[in-house]
Structure 1
Amino acid sequence: MAAVAISFPEALGATADDPTGEAAGNGRTEPTASKELDAVPPPNTPATATIGTSTRDEREAQTTAFLRVRVGQEEAHYGGNLVDGARILRLFGDLVTEITVRTDGDEGLLAQYSDIRFTAPVRPGDYIEARARLVRQTRLRRVVELEAHKVIRASPEEADSAGEVLDEPQLVCAATATTVVPHRRAHTATARTPTAEEA
């Protein structure tokens, strides 16, 4: 006649001093080893991306630019101490230039803005954050989505130098820009058969 000894892993909550495992929480604890196996992709990185390789869509999604500026008193242009919309468009132009320098090593030539929307006033003392993201590219053209948000608001009604950090950034302008990269500078990685529009 043989005796068989069966041991219960302590990871399940049972110990020699507490065979029922009740002290560990109703007799069960969750295993922790499996949590280490869960892979979480870094922010702004597609979950399907393979290390060392990327598709053109992934490169476009990762090509971004950012600026934060304080609007000066000298930039008030209209009644009510308003700043003209061209000030924001100049920020957008700088962002588009950065995008094409990053993708093609050239500043490119801004061809057009489309879908421009001014959604909130900008006044001296405001802090504006402007962001750009490359969303489409052809052999010679780059299409960039642009947004500008107010993150700090001047509060002259309280005091001449007062300001307020906004709980939520306020969208002040959005647009889409198309820029053209000279053929001699366009990366061979983006080369393809030209469309009728580009021919």
Structure 2
Amino acid sequence: MSDRDVFYGGGVVNGARSITLMNDCANRIMAKVFHNTGHCLEVRKVRLYEPIFAGDYMEFIARIKQQKGKKALIEVRAFKIIQVPEDPPYPSSIDVLEDPPLCTICQFIYEAN
């Protein structure tokens, strides 16, 4: 996440930024499976577990949990894999997390065209 994504004090990134990126992941998995992105009918669940800060590197994992005809329930999870240390010795210092924490879960209902 970059400095332009910061919305709150202390460098906290707005949760909507993660959800936007998760929607991009859902679009890509729809294109891969159905050969078109279709459209989102519903956002079924959003859970924010850990705050995300500017400088964090995120990994998004999307999967189809359920499929009926042209409709798909897609779950996307966001994990923080790299963060900036609290007192970095150098401006480019990072901490690679051995056990990346789950930051956000979002479920979308999509329908293929």
Give TM-score, length-normalised by structure 2: 0.91
- Point out where structure 2 has 5 or more consecutive residues left out of the alignment: none
Which of 98, 104, 109 does residue 34 from structure 2 map onto? Answer: 104
Residue matched to 2:21: 91
Q: Which has the larger radius of gyration?
A: 1
What residue is the counterpart of 1:142 in the other structure? Answer: 72
Structure with the bigger percentage of strand = 2
CA distance in 2, matches of 1:76, 1:161: 19
1:113 maps to a residue whose letter is: V
- CA–CA distance in structure 2, aligned partners of residues 179 and 167 of structure 1: 33
- Which residue is equivalent to 1:77? 7
- Give the whole-Å Cα distance in 1 for the aligned partners of 2:5 and 2:87: 19
Q: Which of the numbers 67, 78, 97 marks the counterpart of 1:166?
A: 97
- Residue identity in the other structure for 1:168: D
Structure number with the bigger relative contact order (C-alpha 8 A, sep ≥ 6) is 2
1:120 to 40, 45, 50: 50
**Counterpart amino acid of residue 103 in structure 2:** V
Consecutive unaligned residues in structure 1, runs of 5 or more: 1-70, 183-199
2:107 is aligned, of 151, 176, 184, to 176
Matched pairs, number: 112
Matches for 1:13-32 after TM superposition, within 5 Å: none
SS in 1 for 2:7: strand
Identity of aligned residues (%): 26
What is the alpha-carbon distance in structure 2 between the residues aligned to residue 167 and residue 135 of structure 1? 27
Deviation at 1:156, TM superposition (A): 4.5
With structure 1 as the length reference, what TM-score do the two structures score?
A: 0.53
Distance 1:158 1:103 in 2: 43
